C-alpha cells in the first residue's frame, strides 16, 4: 500500500480550513496532519508529524507567511502550496514567495460551504503534484541544469527528428511562433527563459497552469524584468515578435490566422487533460494553424497535459523541445511527451533559453 500524502493546512480562515479538510478527507491518497490558524502551533505539531505538503495562507497572525517559509526551508525543506485569494495584491504576494521555496499556488474558492467538484479536483491535483516535487532533494539542487545519464540515454535512443532540420533551414525559414507549456515549477522556469530573450524573438504563447486571477500578476511581474513585452492574453491579441502572451487562468487559448498574421482566441470549454487552460489545446491549435514554422517547448509539470498536443506539432514538422529530468521540479509532462514520441530534443532549462 502506498504511503499517504500528509498535508498540513495553515490558514486564518475557518471556512478555508474546512474546505481543504473536506477535500483531503474525501481522497484516500491523502491524510490531514492538522488544520491550524496559527503558524507557531503548526510548527510544534510538525515536529512530531512532519507533512509531505504544506498549504499556507500568507496572511497569518503571529508570523507572516514569508517568515514561516524561510523557517521551514532552513529546518526541513518541504513543498509548500500558497493558498491565496484572487485579489491582485494576494496574487502578487503569492508569486513573490516562489523564490523562497513555495512550489505553486492554489486559489481559495469564492464560495462559502461546499466547493465545486472541479475546484476540489484541481486543488487535490495540486497537492499531489507538490508531493512529487523534486525541488527539495539536495541532489536535484546540485544538478539542476546538468543533463543526467538518463537524459543522455534517452537522447541517444529515443529522440528523433520529424524532418530534416539544419542551421541553414533555421535561417531561411525562421520560426513565426513559439508555444510553451508548463505546470508545477513553471513560474520560475518561464522566468529563466523569458528574461534572456531579445526583442527580436518570435511571438511567444504560454500556457502555465495557474488559477484564474494569477496569470495577470505573473505577466505583470515578468514584463517588469524582461526585455520582451509580457502580458496576459486578450481575445484577438496578435502574435508579434518581442511579445509573450500568457493564457488566462480558467480559459483555453488557441491560435488562429494565417502566415505572418496570427492571433489568439479564448475558449471556455470543458477541462482538457484535467486543465483549463490546457497545453494540449494550445499546442494542437498551433499544429493546425501554424505548422512547421512553430516551435514547441514543454516544461516542468505533473501529468500528461501537452503530450498529445506536442505530438501533433511534431507530426506536422515542428521542432519540439522537452525540459530534461534534472532541471524539472516535476518530470511528468516532459516525460509523457517523450514517451508519446513527440520530442525532437531534450534540453536542460538553461540550454532551452540559449537555444531560443
Residue ranges of domains in the chain, CATH in brackets: 5-131 (3.40.50.2300), 145-355 (3.40.50.180)
pLDDT for position 136: 54
Among residues 232, 181, 179, 231, which one has the least CA distance to residue 205? Answer: 179
Instruction: Determine the pLDDT at residue 122.
Output: 84
277-321 pLDDT per residue, tens: 999 999 999 999 999 999 999 999 989 999 999 999 999 999 999
pLDDT string in tens for the chain (356-residue length)? 578 999 999 998 888 898 899 999 999 999 999 999 999 999 999 999 999 999 999 888 788 888 899 999 998 999 999 888 755 566 777 777 776 778 888 888 765 556 778 888 888 988 998 998 865 543 333 333 333 333 333 343 334 433 344 444 444 457 899 999 999 889 999 999 999 999 999 999 999 998 888 899 899 999 999 999 999 999 999 999 999 999 998 899 999 998 889 999 998 889 999 899 999 999 999 999 999 999 999 999 989 999 999 999 999 999 999 999 999 999 999 999 999 999 999 999 999 999 99
**Helical spans, DSSP H, in 160-278:** 167-172, 186-194, 215-223
Say what the pLDDT of residue 98 is.
Answer: 74
Beta-carbon count within 10 A of 181 CB: 32
Q: For residue 241, with 0-12 CB atoms within 10 Å meaning exposed, 13-18 middle and 19 or more buried, which class applies?
A: middle
Element (H, E) at 39: helix 39-48
Residue in 174, 97, 145 with CA at minimum distance from that of residue 354: 145
For residue 263, what are the CA distances in angstroms to 33, 197, 258? 47, 21, 9
Cα–Cα distance for residue pair 287/270, rounded to 1 Å: 21
The residues assigned a catalytic role are: 183, 209, 305
Nine-digit cell string for 81: 502550496
Amino acid at each position: 500500500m502506498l504511503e499517504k500524502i500528509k498535508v498540513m493546512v495553515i490558514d486564518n480562515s475557518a471556512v478555508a480550513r474546512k474546505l481543504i479538510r473536506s477535500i483531503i478527507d474525501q481522497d484516500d491518497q491523502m491524510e490531514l496532519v492538522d488544520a491550524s490558524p496559527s503558524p507557531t502551533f503548526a510548527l510544534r505539531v510538525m515536529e512530531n508529524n512532519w507533512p509531505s505538503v504544506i498549504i499556507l495562507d500568507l496572511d497569518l497572525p503571529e508570523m507572516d507567511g514569508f517568515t514561516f517559509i524561510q523557517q521551514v526551508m532552513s529546518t526541513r525543506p518541504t513543498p509548500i502550496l500558497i493558498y491565496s485569494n484572487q485579489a491582485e495584491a494576494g496574487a502578487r504576494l503569492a508569486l513573490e514567495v516562489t523564490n523562497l521555496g513555495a512550489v505553486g499556488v492554489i486559489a481559495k474558492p469564492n464560495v462559502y460551504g461546499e466547493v465545486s467538484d472541479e475546484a476540489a479536483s484541481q486543488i487535490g491535483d495540486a497537492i499531489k503534484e507538490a508531493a512529487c516535487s523534486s525541488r527539495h532533494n539536495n541532489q536535484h539542487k546540485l544538478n539542476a541544469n546538468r543533463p543526467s545519464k538518463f537524459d543522455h540515454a534517452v537522447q541517444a535512443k529515443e529522440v528523433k527528428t520529424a524532418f530534416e532540420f539544419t542551421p541553414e533551414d533555421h535561417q531561411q525559414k525562421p520560426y513565426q511562433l513559439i508555444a510553451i507549456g508548463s505546470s508545477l515549477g513553471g513560474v520560475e522556469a518561464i522566468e529563466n527563459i523569458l528574461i534572456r530573450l531579445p526583442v527580436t524573438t518570435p511571438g511567444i504563447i504560454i500556457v502555465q497552469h495557474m488559477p484564474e486571477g494569477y496569470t495577470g500578476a505573473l505577466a505583470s511581474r515578468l514584463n517588469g524584468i524582461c526585455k520582451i513585452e509580457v502580458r496576459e492574453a486578450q481575445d484577438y491579441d496578435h502574435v508579434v515578435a518581442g511579445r509573450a502572451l500568457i493564457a488566462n487562468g480558467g480559459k483555453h487559448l488557441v491560435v488562429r490566422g494565417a502566415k505572418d498574421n496570427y492571433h489568439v482566441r479564448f475558449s471556455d470549454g470543458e477541462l482538457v487533460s484535467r486543465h483549463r487552460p490546457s497545453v494540449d489545446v494550445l499546442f494542437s491549435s498551433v499544429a493546425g494553424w501554424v505548422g512547421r514554422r512553430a516551435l514547441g517547448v514543454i516544461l516542468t509539470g505533473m501529468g500528461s497535459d501537452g503530450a498529445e498536443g506536442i505530438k501533433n506539432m511534431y507530426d506536422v514538422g515542428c521542432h519540439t523541445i522537452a525540459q530534461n529530468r534534472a532541471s524539472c521540479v516535476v518530470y511528468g509532462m516532459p516525460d509523457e511527451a517523450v514517451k508519446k514520441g513527440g520530442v525532437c530534443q531534450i534540453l536542460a532549462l538553461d540550454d532551452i533559453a540559449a537555444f531560443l
